Structure 1
Amino acid sequence: MKITITLTITLLVSCLAAQVSSAPNQDAANIIQELGLREASKPLSRQPGWAPSKILVSAPPFLTSITPGYLQQLRGAAGTAELVIDDSGAFVPDPALLQGVDAVIGLCDPATMTAGADLIWVHNYFVGMDRCASLTPEQVSGRTFTNGKRLSGPAIAEHSIAMMLSLARGLPAYYRAQMDSKWDNNLRQQVRFGELKDKTLLVVGLGGIGTEVAWRAHGLGMKVTAIRNSSRSGPDYVSYVGLSDELMALAADADVVVNALPLTSKTAGLFNEKFFAKVKKGSLFISVGRGKSTDTDALIAALESGRVYGAGLDVTDPEPLPADSPLWLMDNVIITPHSSTAGSDSIRRGAIIAVENLRRYVAGEPMLSVVNMDAGY
């Protein structure tokens, strides 16, 4: 009798899911195709405990103001499941809101795990999973984690290219002179990097961000090489894809190195004194991955010695960067406060894919952008 009842409930939930299931809307379909979002190999309906009932969504005012209709789209995707909207502005919700929920859309954080045993899906709006790095195997087991991987790739790639172009043309020094109302034609003597065409750019981390950087650099006439941990496969505009143990060799031949790595135990402190000793003399270093992957003291030493021509840093270690850091005063350094994703396009894409993953969750379909929690991305 118990088996029959359980089977009946499962079939009933599946039928309800089928009633609200539909294909992705055109905006979601375009993003999936253009950015190469990947879906899981199995439908979520096969996951033990799947029974969409109560879903909590963090929807801070800035997000809903940029994406009109977001709440209505969420309600449409939720079907018959109860949708709890947290518009407090806090990505980590009050524990009282988490009680009894089986899914959370917001920010992956240890506090989210207080939702209890019913929780089987957590969607992180952003790509970084750093906050969930401390989860225990018990907290991860039996749950699906998804994130915003690849969605901010275009914005971060444009930011990276902007910093590279600015450093190559010596614009930071010109800007400082402009702030002093000084027409200093002698600054042209400091522009020694040369033109970007035919120079080599190394992307360290050929994921969503790295791929977008590579495509843009190739369009500028640069030769693009890359490092990735998983395989040697890559798009045709990347001339060579090496594995992680080839970093030093490829860096020695690169005029520009772009750090687009996630933060893991293997990438922490990767760009250290040893790395900067091997990097090609007079190269540019652009960091848009995670600050803790770079040894700040080693980078400063490389800049002061001239080993590194210039650096564009959207991420630093620590963050915020202390006011007394020498990096602030260097003419060959550009610093932005972890803001390379700024702009409504990334937020709009994030909202569209959150809705699409909610639709898939309720329908029991394969989820998009599932995170390997062991690897951290």
Structure 2
Amino acid sequence: RARLAAAVPGTELTFVGMKKVTDQQIARADAIIGNLPPERLKHAVNLNWLQLSSSGADKYCAPGLLPAGTVLTNATGAYGPAISEYMIGVVFALAYNLHKYRDNQKNRLWRDEGPVRPIADSTVLVVGLGDIGRAFASRIKAMGCHVIGVKRTPSEKPDYVDELYLMDSLDTLLKRADVVTLSLPRAPETDGLMDEARLLAMKKDAILVNVGRGSAVRTEDLCRVLASGHLKGCALDVTDPEPLPPEHPLWAFDRVMITPHISGGNNVRETVERVQAVVTRNLRAYVSGKPLENLVDFHTGYKAH
């Protein structure tokens, strides 16, 4: 609060909790900072700018949700370091069966869980090279992996990947990868991306990590593939549905690690500080009439380039 107020002295700022904000306050605001439930934005008749605290913006891109001319910005750039470190952690945990040893410890069971494969020299397929994918690719490459990047739009190959392809090459690339990571925003072209055919196209002992949107993986297909013995393991910080119901069969697989969408959230102080920095810079720019950073393209739900 003090940081924002100091950034724009003399500007009227109203600080209110998400559950306490009134329809009248929403209607009066010409700028809103925070992820209000989309259905409440029907009251935002004077809105010029909406700044999200998340990197995902798909829920706010529906036609007619925001007044015409409203600028939408997100917090891309704040989440890469924390989420990429989470990804590194779960890849190593699955590769070395650490999740199984933790289960054994709870059962006071001294048992060797079999051979493991070092991560160094593995082929890692990074699907989605936004803030999160870039941060992960650079870290895993530094550990001696061969990194293949897949992205939506063409560009020159950056140093943090060894190979770079567009999404239409995904089916061929899945067969090569020891580790596949998904860090994709929700969009029509990413919903159901990893269906049964693509999951089975992965190596039998491959590892799958999803930190983007749960909808990128068809959950029922994943359950069938796991039940068949395919895949060494997977780590899911996002699921479909979310939250995952207690009775869902996905919980039962011992080679699946499930976390409740926490990899880059408010539990990481540095992430909160990075979000605050993005918001502060944009608030200062908005008040002074300068261009904002992290503009979102309403047609794609991605950060505009």
Query: Which TM-score applies when normalising by structure 2?
Result: 0.93
Out of 17, 31, 41, the position equivalent to 1:112 is 41
Q: Determine if contact 1:224/1:239 at 8 Å carries over to the other structure.
A: yes
- State how far apart, in whole Å, the 2-side matches of 1:324 and 1:295 are: 17
Cα pair distance change 1:163/1:144, threshold 3 Å? same
Aligned to 1:43: none
Aligned to 1:22: none
Q: Determine if contact 2:134/2:160 at 8 Å carries over to the other structure.
A: no
Q: CA deviation at 1:81?
A: 2.5
- State how far apart, in whole Å, the 1-side matches of 2:27 and 2:253 are: 50
AA aligned to 2:53 is Y
Q: Where in structure 2 are the equivalents of 1:1-377 lying within 5 Å?
A: 71-86=1-16, 88-90=17-19, 93-107=21-35, 109-116=38-45, 118-136=46-64, 139=66, 141-184=68-111, 186-187=112-113, 189=114, 191-192=115-116, 194-341=117-264, 342-377=267-302
Q: What fraction of aligned residue pairs are identical, expressed as a percent?
A: 34
- State how far apart, in whole Å, the 2-side matches of 1:339 and 1:355 are: 24
AA aligned to 1:275 is R
AA aligned to 1:81 is T
SS of the equivalent of 1:163 reads helix
> How many residue pairs are counted as aligned between the two chains?
299
- State how far apart, in whole Å, the 2-side matches of 1:338 and 1:284 are: 19
Listed one character per residue, the Cα deviations across residues 79-114 of structure 1 (whole Å, up to 9, x for unaligned) are: 33211111x243x83212112221110115242242
Q: CA deviation at 1:140?
A: 5.5
Gaps of 5+ in 1: 1-70
- State how far apart, in whole Å, the 2-side matches of 1:366 and 1:228 are: 26
Q: Determine if contact 1:98/1:112 at 8 Å carries over to the other structure.
A: yes
Aligned to 1:41: none
Q: Determine if contact 2:119/2:145 at 8 Å carries over to the other structure.
A: yes
Q: Determine if contact 2:124/2:177 at 8 Å carries over to the other structure.
A: yes
Q: Determine if contact 2:199/2:225 at 8 Å carries over to the other structure.
A: yes
Higher relative contact order (CA 8 A, sep 6+): 1
Q: Determine if contact 1:110/1:134 at 8 Å carries over to the other structure.
A: no
Q: CA deviation at 1:214?
A: 0.2
- State how far apart, in whole Å, the 2-side matches of 1:103 and 1:349 are: 20
Mark the structure with the bigger radius of gyration.
1
Listed one character per residue, the Cα deviations across residues 290-320 of structure 1 (whole Å, up to 9, x for unaligned) are: 0011101111222222321100010011111
- State how far apart, in whole Å, the 1-side matches of 2:155 and 2:205 are: 28
Q: CA deviation at 1:212?
A: 0.6
Listed one character per residue, the Cα deviations across residues 254-273 of structure 1 (whole Å, up to 9, x for unaligned) are: 11000100011111111101
AA aligned to 1:258 is T
- State how far apart, in whole Å, the 2-side matches of 1:122 and 1:278 are: 41
Deviates more, 1:311-320 or 1:122-131: 122-131
SS of the equivalent of 1:159 reads helix
Deviates more, 1:119-128 or 1:298-307: 298-307
Q: Determine if contact 1:79/1:362 at 8 Å carries over to the other structure.
A: no
- State how far apart, in whole Å, the 1-side matches of 2:140 and 2:245 are: 32
AA aligned to 2:54 is F
Q: Determine if contact 1:110/1:132 at 8 Å carries over to the other structure.
A: no
AA aligned to 1:375 is T
Listed one character per residue, the Cα deviations across residues 132-169 of structure 1 (whole Å, up to 9, x for unaligned) are: 14342x73531111011121111111111111000000
Q: Determine if contact 2:178/2:207 at 8 Å carries over to the other structure.
A: yes
Deviates more, 1:232-241 or 1:261-270: 232-241
Q: CA deviation at 1:115?
A: 1.8
SS of the equivalent of 1:85 reads coil
Query: Which TM-score applies when normalising by structure 1?
Result: 0.76
Listed one character per residue, the Cα deviations across residues 324-365 of structure 1 (whole Å, up to 9, x for unaligned) are: 223222221111011111311111111121111100100111
Q: Determine if contact 2:32/2:51 at 8 Å carries over to the other structure.
A: yes
User: CA-atom RMSD, angstroms?
Assistant: 1.6
AA aligned to 2:89 is A
Listed one character per residue, the Cα deviations across residues 159-201 of structure 1 (whole Å, up to 9, x for unaligned) are: 11111000000011101110112222x32x2x34x11111111
